[in-house]
Structure 1
């Protein structure tokens, strides 16, 4: 099947580019608004002495008798904020209402802070590490708390995780090390280039048996140090994408313009979620529908 993409000119300048949000990123008059509940988490065993908030968004169609799918977002409030670039709860409401997604509960988790420390942020320690500590934090602390209140499916094919910048490689690492739990991944402008000890994935991905992951990546032409020989964020993302391609993963890379901004990734969230949750096992039947709000490559002909 061939999907024709409407013509859209590309900007000549690549630095100061802003993508327009589509209708799925705005409240719609015929779509009921779900419920968002705020939680405090101040007693972490995995990240002692940290405090944070997290939010649970429950679409209006949620039925406690039917376990919901799960989507975890890093940098919680940035991804939840209805006036921000990502607008995660609004997108979930719209897609669930139309049946583009199964009923999916969104969990939006802020990084930890040390309230009384000179350097209060624990974000990079949590997000950039190449270990399973953060996945364990979600699986042993946050998600069990969510499950006290809501019914979540056990099937790991119904669990996804999303983040941008350091939250992007955090999402990738959580799924990479715990594919028994997280199998659908979104990484926007992921900070693979600043992982302690270097970006392991271009070497690791081809060396191990393929994991049951479906991965959506977004990278930017003018991301940090885009034309530098070291710590080049664009190049690091492209190397991860190349490794996934060579290893035969079900993945998608969308390359856009602009710098290190959540704008393009936020605009892509509806299409990314539709692509991650497509029902086919092949590529062509599940390509996202044509959209003027994102660059969607042409599907291969059958």
Structure 2
């Protein structure tokens, strides 16, 4: 075989490969566009009619989007005739699979954690959560990360495994939320009168529920104050509702106590909501 014939044959092979690549790209693009312009809108329409939870609907739409990409690539490979090429090297495919498996361990673990998060009915988009000393509203739950918007309007990207393996407090998972606030009064002040003021302010507050009814308890005798803890409930809690109810309640208590001559200057406040668990301290060897 002459050099010219060899070059001619090589050129034909490259031309054939070029046509295969063009066919792959064309078929994959057509299938992808059909998926984006037809399949995904139809899926969104069907899911909207089913009135699914917003978090679950977003997750399903993301899965459909990934499926469209996979089907488009598979259709392109099949149309271009690359299936025989890929199947002819089992060793290469196995090596690539192993390498991708090691590289994608974190991605897969976050993906699985995301599935558990999505199926949790107490973990939804727009919920106000607190975890590991941080807090914010859930903006989106992705395959790898969950995006949380902080109260300073910053976006925090949290790996799904972190939320799946860390204790997370959801302030909005129930229809009602209890707010606890502690006031300190002087030892010379009247406890009964202060209790009456705390309850009256709660009764007059338009955002505080009558049922469950507010309560006040003496919780501590500090060095310079008698500590009274006021507990009351709000409905349909969110961050704004929580902040406004607590702020206006504290302000009105301060005003009425000042008018009654009750000293709140020694107050040490503890902002609590929900339940507080205190672990026993570890034993110390002496």
| TM-score in terms of structure 1 length | 0.19
- Which structure has the bigger radius of gyration? 2
Q: Which has the higher contact order (CA 8 A, sep 6+)?
A: 1
Q: Which structure shows the bigger proportion of residues in helix conformation?
A: 2
| TM-score in terms of structure 2 length | 0.20
